[in-house]
């Protein structure tokens, strides 16, 4: 199999995750294998008069927080920064690297692309805006800019790890996390960096979620039954459940990883991003199916594989009416349906939709599945949507954990407002 013609192949050598159903890669793996939901009733949303009062929020102890922030920032810091720093530090250590000394030289060969949909929304809405509106601008202090700027998480991570290559933040709504990995992959492939931490971080914020509540796209009928609320591919899916968290993957050139003798989780064969142009049925909030299919096909072609080589799909699948449309796009893009369709599951069934972090957390699940040889259940899908059953066999929807050594290639895609798409092709590392 021709992998790619470029000089630099890109592998994954470390991962870190902060997820509503598990902090840290080990806890996250156990949770997704068991189908553990991280969705809970959130009383705060009731006080803000949300119709949907459930969500997935990672619980971080004060003890853990102290590793990441100088005491001066304890008063007010954004969850997106905290989650991003925790996941980034874990990925860094998991990749066999050491925490830098206070006076050490920056690591000029390593950078980060850490995206967010709206980093700092919690601090902007909860602290800055009320103070400014009350005429207390003078009392905002020095940290408000760095806490609210969208690049806050990548900026803090860059300082924590003394990164010296590109340190930036991408933003493409719910496509953000996957797009970050595609961009970092391209940067290493082109030889501009040896290593890139890539992924997304999204805080839990009423100010971020409120607009979705008003749009009526959140599940507002399951407040009494949070764990069953996120139901991708189900006939009774009633809207998405907002989530929060972060996922970071250490992407590294193959030669650098081999030179360091570092454990390799998987290889990224290729990735693609595009936009449907909000034409041909595509809008700000709905996808142009032609754009989605082109994105998936591009990723497959750039990876040097055939659609038939794909063993499984980690879907975008948000638990809305768009799920059957997504399945249709996969069947058409790959030219595979019925029993011939790859296995498919959705991490969102357990953690909700972590927005800018979703693609990154789901990519970590994808890599874990390849590395450990299992497919996690897509929970709450007892009643597969009839439109989906017209396209693919019911057994292709993974509803119970499957242990298998036959996984070689998994595709991961994300789609976002703005009609933007991203798709990655991951391959199990078999020392070749």
DSSP 266: E
Whether the Cβ atoms of residue 1 and residue 267 lie closer than 8 Å to each other: no
The β-bridge relationship of strands 343-345 and 312-314 is parallel
Query: Least distance from C-beta 66 to other proteins, angstroms?
Result: 12
Helix (H/G/I), strand (E/B), else coil: 5: coil
Distance between CA 151 and CA 76 in Å, rounded? 17
Of the pair 66, 214, the CB lying nearest other proteins is at 66
Of the pair 76, 228, the CB lying nearest other proteins is at 76
Query: Least distance from C-beta 153 to other proteins, angstroms?
Result: 19
The number of beta carbons lying within 10 Å of the beta carbon of residue 337 is 17
Query: Which of 248, 109, 223 has the alpha carbon at shortest distance from 165?
Result: 109
- The two three-digit tokens of residue 426, written as one number: 């991951």
The number of beta carbons lying within 10 Å of the beta carbon of residue 216 is 10
Residue with tokens 């949907």: 52
Query: Which of 203, 245, 396, 242 has the alpha carbon at shortest distance from 320?
Result: 242
For other proteins, the binding residues (CB under 8 A) are: 70-72, 74, 102, 139, 141-143
Of the pair 30, 104, the CB lying nearest other proteins is at 104
Query: Least distance from C-beta 140 to other proteins, angstroms?
Result: 9
Of the pair 141, 338, the CB lying nearest other proteins is at 141
Instruction: Report the DSSP beta bridge partners of residue 239.
Output: none
* Residue 370 to residues 44, 109, 175, 367, Cα–Cα distance (Å): 38, 27, 22, 5
Whether the Cβ atoms of residue 151 and residue 356 lie closer than 8 Å to each other: no
Of the pair 43, 70, the CB lying nearest other proteins is at 70
Helix (H/G/I), strand (E/B), else coil: 342: coil
Of the pair 130, 141, the CB lying nearest other proteins is at 141
Query: Least distance from C-beta 141 to other proteins, angstroms?
Result: 5
Query: Least distance from C-beta 277 to other proteins, angstroms?
Result: 42
Helix (H/G/I), strand (E/B), else coil: 76: coil
The alpha carbon of residue 299 and the mean position of all alpha carbons in its chain are separated, in whole angstroms, by: 18
Query: Least distance from C-beta 139 to other proteins, angstroms?
Result: 6
- The two three-digit tokens of residue 178, written as one number: 């996957």
* Residue 396 to residues 56, 307, 336, 345, 388, Cα–Cα distance (Å): 27, 16, 12, 9, 11
Query: Least distance from C-beta 158 to other proteins, angstroms?
Result: 15
Distance between CA 92 and CA 352 in Å, rounded? 26
Of the pair 140, 302, the CB lying nearest other proteins is at 140
Query: Least distance from C-beta 299 to other proteins, angstroms?
Result: 43
Of the pair 96, 100, the CB lying nearest other proteins is at 100
Query: Least distance from C-beta 72 to other proteins, angstroms?
Result: 5
Of the pair 106, 373, the CB lying nearest other proteins is at 106
């Amino acid at each position: 199999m021709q992998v790619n013609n470029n000089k630099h192949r890109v592998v994954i050598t470390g991962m870190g995750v902060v997820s509503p159903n598990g902090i840290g890669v080990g806890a996250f793996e156990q949770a997704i294998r068991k189908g553990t939901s991280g969705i809970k009733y959130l009383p705060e949303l009731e006080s803000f008069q949300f119709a949907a009062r459930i969500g997935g929020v990672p619980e971080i102890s004060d003890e853990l927080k102290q590793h990441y922030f100088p005491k001066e920032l304890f008063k007010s810091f954004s969850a997106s920064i905290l989650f991003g720093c925790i996941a980034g530090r874990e990925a860094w250590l998991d990749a066999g690297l050491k925490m830098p000394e206070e006076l050490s030289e920056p690591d000029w060969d390593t950078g980060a692309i850490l995206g967010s949909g709206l980093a700092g929304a919690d601090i902007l809405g909860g602290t800055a805006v009320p103070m400014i509106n009350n005429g207390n601008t003078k009392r905002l202090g020095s940290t408000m800019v760095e806490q609210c700027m969208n690049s806050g998480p990548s900026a803090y991570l860059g300082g924590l790890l003394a990164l010296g290559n590109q340190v930036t933040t991408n933003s493409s709504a719910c496509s953000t996390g996957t797009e970050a990995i595609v961009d970092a992959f391209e940067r290493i492939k082109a030889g501009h960096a040896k290593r890139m931490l890539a992924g997304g971080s999204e805080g839990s914020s009423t100010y971020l979620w409120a607009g979705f509540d008003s749009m009526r796209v959140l599940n507002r009928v399951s407040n009494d039954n949070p764990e069953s609320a996120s139901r991708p591919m189900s006939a009774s899916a009633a809207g998405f459940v907002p989530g929060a968290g972060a996922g970071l993957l250490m992407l590294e050139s193959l030669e650098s990883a081999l030179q360091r003798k570092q454990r390799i989780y998987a290889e990224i064969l290729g990735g693609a991003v595009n936009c449907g142009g909000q034409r041909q049925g595509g809008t700000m909030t709905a996808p142009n199916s032609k754009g989605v299919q082109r994105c998936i096909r591009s990723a497959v072609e750039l990876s040097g594989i055939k659609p038939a080589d794909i063993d499984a799909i980690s879907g975008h699948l948000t638990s809305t009416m768009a799920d059957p449309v997504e399945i249709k796009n996969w069947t058409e893009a790959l030219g595979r349906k019925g029993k011939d369709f790859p296995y498919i599951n959705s991490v969102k069934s357990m953690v909700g939709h972590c927005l800018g972090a979703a693609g990154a957390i789901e990519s970590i699940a994808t890599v874990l599945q390849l590395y450990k040889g299992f497919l996690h259940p897509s929970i709450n899908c007892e009643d597969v949507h009839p439109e989906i059953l017209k396209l693919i066999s019911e057994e292709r929807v993974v509803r119970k954990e499957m242990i298998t050594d036959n996984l070689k290639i998994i595709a991961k895609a994300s789609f976002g407002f703005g009609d933007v798409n991203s798709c990655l092709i991951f391959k199990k590392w078999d020392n070749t």
